[in-house]
């Protein structure tokens, strides 16, 4: 009798969490995105830079299902946001430039309430663990967020993302208005989510912050990806080359 042993076949590569392939999209008859192709993989931080009007915010809206592509393919963890926007948004945590929280609720209450809106119930200790992991001081857990700084509000939003265990995080100008210490702390939180396998897409004008944390940096120009740089070695990026490319797109 011949005994055969199963071969150890290599595992298939992971699929991108965020995928736009040849997308044209815009508002009304005016296209903003033109043949945009972009992929963000599990556990990757991707920074998208470009001049005002280049299509950065429209790209976020595309993945959120707020903009429908005229042509091309869009997927959020294999879900088509044009066909199933609610399903796509369940895969995403979105943090806008100015984090929207309920001013009359505490940090803890905001996380609990927003989780409940997503159909997820969590215990107070679990929420406190997330707030602590996000770097919020324990004394602030029960305080109303009305007096919170931008950095503190972002920590509440990150705690929400940690508890929801989403596949993707979308960020719109996350370091705008933050001092260098708060920016470094925010980048630490992004690294925490990266370690959990979250795919992060951040649109930003902050080139230096992007170079500190991103795994890839893309430059969008006239609605398409014009250039892309990959972090390599201890220096990660050639900041001079990044700045030159950024200046070309802003001109």
Higher pLDDT, 150 or 201: 201
Question: How many residues are there in the chain?
Answer: 251
The CATH code for residues 18-91+166-250 is 3.40.50.300
Domain segments of the chain as ranges: 18-91+166-250, 101-165
Residue 12 binned pLDDT confidence (cut-offs 50, 70, 90): low
Across residues 153-161, what is the average pLDDT? 88
Supply 90's token pair.
Answer: 């369940």
Across residues 219-227, what is the average pLDDT? 92
pTM: 0.85
Question: Is the model's pLDDT at 128 over the cut of 90?
Answer: yes
Question: Is the model's pLDDT at 248 over the cut of 90?
Answer: no
How many CB atoms are located within 10 Å of the residue 165 CB?
11
Taking all residues of the chain, what is their mean pLDDT, rounded to a whole number? Answer: 88
> In terms of DSSP H, where are the helices of the chain?
56-64, 85-89, 107-117, 124-133, 150-164, 180-195, 207-213, 239-250
pLDDT value at residue 11 = 58
3-state DSSP helix/strand/coil percent for the chain, to nearest 5? 35, 25, 40
Residue 137 binned pLDDT confidence (cut-offs 50, 70, 90): very high
């Amino acid at each position: 009798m011949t005994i055969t042993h199963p071969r150890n076949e290599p595992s298939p590569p992971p699929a991108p969490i965020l995928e736009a392939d040849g997308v044209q999209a815009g508002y009304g008859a005016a296209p903003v995105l033109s043949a945009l192709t972009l992929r963000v993989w599990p556990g990757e931080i991707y920074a998208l830079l470009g001049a005002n009007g280049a299509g950065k915010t429209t790209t976020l809206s595309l993945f959120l299902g707020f903009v429908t592509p005229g042509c091309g393919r869009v997927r959020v963890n294999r879900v088509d946001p044009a066909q199933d926007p609610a399903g796509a948004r369940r895969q995403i945590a979105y943090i806008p430039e100015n984090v929207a929280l309920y001013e009359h609720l505490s940090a803890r209450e905001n996380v609990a309430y927003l989780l409940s809106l997503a159909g997820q119930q969590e215990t107070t200790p679990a929420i406190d663990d997330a707030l602590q992991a996000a770097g919020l001081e324990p004394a602030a857990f029960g305080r109303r967020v009305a007096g919170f700084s931008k950095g503190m509000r972002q920590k509440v939003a990150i705690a929400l993302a940690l508890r929801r265990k989403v596949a993707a995080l979308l960020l719109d100008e996350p370091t705008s208005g933050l001092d260098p210490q708060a920016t470094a702390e925010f980048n630490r939180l992004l690294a925490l989510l990266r370690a959990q396998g979250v795919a992060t897409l951040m649109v930003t004008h902050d080139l230096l912050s992007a170079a500190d944390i991103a795994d890839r940096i893309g430059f969008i120009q006239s609605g398409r990806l014009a250039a892309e740089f990959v972090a390599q070695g201890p220096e990660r990026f050639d900041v001079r080359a990044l700045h030159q490319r950024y200046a070309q797109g802003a001109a």
